[in-house]
Amino acid sequence: MHFDKSLELLLVHCQGELGHVLVNGAPEIPGATMLDKMNHINHVDDSLRRFVTFEPRANVAMSVNLLVPPTRADADAGFIVLQADRAHPMSGSNCICVVTALLESGRVAMQESETLVRLDTPAGLIVARAHCRRGRCVSVSLDNVPSFAECLDREIETSTWGRITTDIAFGGVYYALVDVAQIGLQIKPSNARALAEAGIELKRLLAEQVQVSHPTLTGVNEIAYVMFRDKEPDGAIRTCTTLQPGRVDRSPCGTGSSANLATLHARGQVSVGEVLTSRSIIGGEFRAEAIGTTEVGGRAAILPRVTGGGYVYGRTELRVESDDPFGSGFALSDTWGSRVDLLLKN
């Protein structure tokens, strides 16, 4: 069968969240650093992102991780998170998917019982400790980038819920962290659609009322996600991260857990060495721990470590044909939600 080009992906999920890994066939992305490459995708040429994240080759509840050679000598591999709205600098669940795929495909040599994998990301170097047994990557502990609280108890005005209080924090991307009781919902599967729609509406309002800009990462200047949170009776934090155009993260969210940990540390509610459990809307769990402190651009920050498991469950080949009428992809509101226009106008 003739086709112009093909892309090879490993199919991976982390606690139920799809984070496929594009391992072969992608074009070279210009840029001296991984941050440059991400900004090129977002501001110059997003055709690859659209091809792999929109229908008919993808669905709303997934990400694709672009595997690229590292731009720094101390890294084993580099990757960029591609989602339907844009390329993002970091994601904990996607990072776990990438490490799992690298080891179980033999692209990085596996050592039992622990393999150290260093990843070059637009947010910085991520050091991952993969726990390996019998040829499998059983779990991954990520030493994430420094995470910090940008502001605590920031109030925003809404027409639906009145005045909402949120914490703004960076955990690899910027988050707005909202106690879910403020919108009159609980974090449970039957509320997924309502939570998703609420999160997207709050993201829109936050863009109008709150400005952020990372002190050292050029182009990281938006609140990427709204994460709802709640305290469980056993002390775990129930999380629900919402993503454009209107869906919820199936995993407990590693960067969101890092951002939340930074806010708790800023309030003096968690100390270095204390381990918290982040639990997703479907019950998946990450362990989150502050292993140290530092500063970023004059801001007090923590060094977070997030641990969770990923699973390689298949492999696929996407064929590229120049005459494909849907080469740039499409999305419809029947599955992508009523705010699908937010994606298609980009």
This prediction's pTM: 0.95
Q: Is 91 a catalytic residue?
A: yes
Same domain? 107 vs 196: no
Instruction: State the average pLDDT over residues 98-106.
Output: 98
Same domain? 292 vs 337: no
Same domain? 129 vs 10: yes
Q: 226: which strand partners?
A: 176, 242
109 within 8 A of 135, measured Cβ to Cβ? no
Same domain? 204 vs 113: no
pLDDT tens digit sequence for 151-210: 999 999 999 999 999 999 999 999 999 999 999 999 999 999 999 999 999 999 999 999
Same domain? 193 vs 139: no
pLDDT tens digit sequence for 15-44: 999 999 999 999 999 999 999 999 999 999
Same domain? 163 vs 216: yes
Same domain? 155 vs 300: yes
Same domain? 54 vs 74: yes
Same domain? 223 vs 111: no
Q: How far apart are CA 274 and CA 291, in angstroms?
A: 8
At 3, the pLDDT band (50, 70, 90 cuts) reads: low
Name the E strands within 274-340: 275-279, 285-296, 299-308, 310-320
80 within 8 A of 65, measured Cβ to Cβ? yes
The predicted structure's pLDDT at residue 1: 41
172 within 8 A of 123, measured Cβ to Cβ? yes
Q: At 103, is the secondary structure helix, strand, or coil?
A: helix
- The amino acid that residue 29 corresponds to is I
60 within 8 A of 331, measured Cβ to Cβ? yes
Q: Which of 63, 91, 147, 251 is catalytic?
A: 91
Same domain? 163 vs 56: no
Mean pLDDT of all residues belonging to the chain: 96
DSSP strand pairing (148-158 vs 162-170) = antiparallel
Q: Is 137 a catalytic residue?
A: no
Q: How far apart are CA 142 and CA 77, in angstroms?
A: 15
pLDDT tens digit sequence for 286-319: 999 999 999 999 999 999 999 999 999 999 999 9
CATH number at residue 136: 3.10.310.10
Same domain? 218 vs 234: yes
Q: Which of 147, 253, 278, 280 is catalytic?
A: 253
Total domain count, the chain: 2
DSSP strand pairing (114-121 vs 77-82) = parallel
Residue 182 structural domain? 148-307
Same domain? 158 vs 250: yes
